[in-house]
Structure 1
Amino acid sequence: MPVTHQPTAWDDPATRRAWVKLLFCAVLGQLFWPAAWTGLLAGYVSMSVTWTLWLFFVPMAYTFYRTFLQVAYWQGAFRARGLLRRYPWQMFDAPESGIGDVPEARSGYAWLKFPEPDAPNRQVTMVMHSHVRSIWWGGRLGKRAKAARKEQVREIWFAGDPRFAAVIAVPGPRHLYVIRRRPIDHRGPAGDGHSAGSSALEPALPADARVPDPDSTGP
């Protein structure tokens, strides 16, 4: 399916439908995981046998973890909407990608490289720091992924600025994922932020990307 040529990704009806699905999954998880934890706790209490704790401990711990993780799913959905409403979709065919083995990514973290808007011959590495919704991507970007799986991520749709943040997806769009560039020291602005003018900084703000003070950038 060819990438759409709307002014912004949000102008594409298929993109809005994909985002509604993303939000629906966040809502569903917000209902399911607390209910699952409460049900497991009630089951354990009703049995009143100490050794049964070992039957319930792992699923209770996981559902408890997922209950608190849901905040990240909500945040990811609304960050995605902010970016989709400001950037158009771009299509990249087989961008360089992998898992670990680059200075910007720790072992086990998936990454992709995209051209810098003001210097297309320069590649910017974006790392999937958050594991929220990244399992699907990680299973297809690594060198050990089967050919059929790698083919699923050959064409990448991209809405954003690789110096700051973006939404990536496979054609459709499907499997929306917010990917944000982090500074090496995790405190200051993203590494290439000072190469961008103020007009490039403003659209990145909805994703809570770390961007430099616009007054400190060039015209």
Structure 2
Amino acid sequence: MDVPLTKTAYDDTATRWAWRRTAAFRLCTFLLSYGSFVLWLYVVVMTPVWTLWVLMPALFVLIYVAMLNTVRFSGVLSLRRVLRVYPWQSVPGAASTAKNGTTRFSFADPEQPDKQVSLRYGDWLGSGYTFWVRKVRSGGVDEVWFAGDPRFLGVVAVPGPRRLLSVAQREAVDDRMSARKRGVSPEARERARAAGARVG
């Protein structure tokens, strides 16, 4: 499938629909994860006291899942922000599995095409069950679409686009780290800033 020839990824109708589906799905999982606490409390009230030995570990799992879904839902707007700045590009063979089992996306440096820049995904508990880790491990992902600057941040998708995923270099989103300054033109720096990245 060919990438849309639009100025930005979000100018493409299919991309806007993909973002809306992603936002709706993340909202539903966010609400369900918090609704599960009501169910947990109901079970606690309706069962004998000794069952707390079983139900307490379940509460910790629910808290962890709720935290993950909160982070994922809060990232929906930043996903759209990137799509409104960068166009899609097709990158065959970009997804691979790193030695530690995470998924690695490798893209050419926009200003030095002979150099590769990697972005990682899946270094948290339970990530092995996610689409991007499972499918890449099994060899089910050959081509990806990428919108962004791999030196900062971007969005990865299955051609279509489907399965939108936000990826970023840690220094581009973490205030505790120094932002990247070297090897980036002023134009690239401004685009990255417009997409929500921390730039030097």
TM-score normalized by structure 1? Answer: 0.80
User: Structure 2: how far apart are the matches of 1:45 and 1:202?
Assistant: 55
Runs of 4+ in structure 1 deviating by more than 4 angstroms, as ranges, are 129-134
| Cα displacement string for residues 129-188 of structure 1 (whole angstroms, at most 9, x for unaligned residues) | 66597821111223xx2xxxx2x31011000001100100011111110110124x9611
Is the Cα contact below 8 Å between 2:95 and 2:136 reproduced in 1?
A: no
2:17 aligned partner: 17
Q: Please report how far the alpha carbon of residue 20 of structure 1 lies from its aligned counterpart in structure 2 after TM superposition.
A: 0.4
- The 3-state SS of whatever aligns with 1:194 is coil
| Cα displacement string for residues 34-72 of structure 1 (whole angstroms, at most 9, x for unaligned residues) | 11111111211222x232123323432222222233331
Is the Cα contact below 8 Å between 2:152 and 2:192 reproduced in 1?
A: yes
1:173 is the counterpart of 2:161: yes
User: RMSD in angstroms over aligned alpha carbons?
Assistant: 2.3
Of 29-38 and 58-67, the range deviating more from structure 2: 58-67
Is the Cα contact below 8 Å between 2:93 and 2:143 reproduced in 1?
A: yes
Is the Cα contact below 8 Å between 2:127 and 2:133 reproduced in 1?
A: no
- Structure 1 unaligned segments of length 5 or more: list them: 101-106, 213-219
User: Structure 2: how far apart are the matches of 1:110 and 1:118?
Assistant: 24
- The 3-state SS of whatever aligns with 1:43 is helix
CA distance 1:85–1:207, shift in 2 (3 Å): closer
CA distance 1:130–1:173, shift in 2 (3 Å): farther
1:155 is the counterpart of 2:150: no
1:2 aligned partner: 2
User: Structure 2: how far apart are the matches of 1:133 and 1:22?
Assistant: 18
User: Structure 2: how far apart are the matches of 1:161 and 1:96?
Assistant: 16
Q: Within 5 Å, give how 1:178-217 maps onto structure 2.
A: 178-183=166-171, 187-190=177-180, 193-205=181-193, 208-212=196-200
Q: Within 5 Å, give how 1:51-130 maps onto structure 2.
A: 51-95=50-94, 97-100=96-99, 107-128=100-121
Q: Please report how far the alpha carbon of residue 98 of structure 1 lies from its aligned counterpart in structure 2 after TM superposition.
A: 1.9
User: Structure 2: how far apart are the matches of 1:15 and 1:56?
Assistant: 42
Is the Cα contact below 8 Å between 1:182 and 1:210 reproduced in 2?
A: no
Q: Count residues in correspondence.
A: 195
Q: Please report how far the alpha carbon of residue 8 of structure 1 lies from its aligned counterpart in structure 2 after TM superposition.
A: 0.6
| Cα displacement string for residues 91-148 of structure 1 (whole angstroms, at most 9, x for unaligned residues) | 0111262223xxxxxx233212100001111111111266597821111223xx2xxx
- Structure 2 unaligned segments of length 5 or more: list them: none
Is the Cα contact below 8 Å between 2:152 and 2:168 reproduced in 1?
A: yes
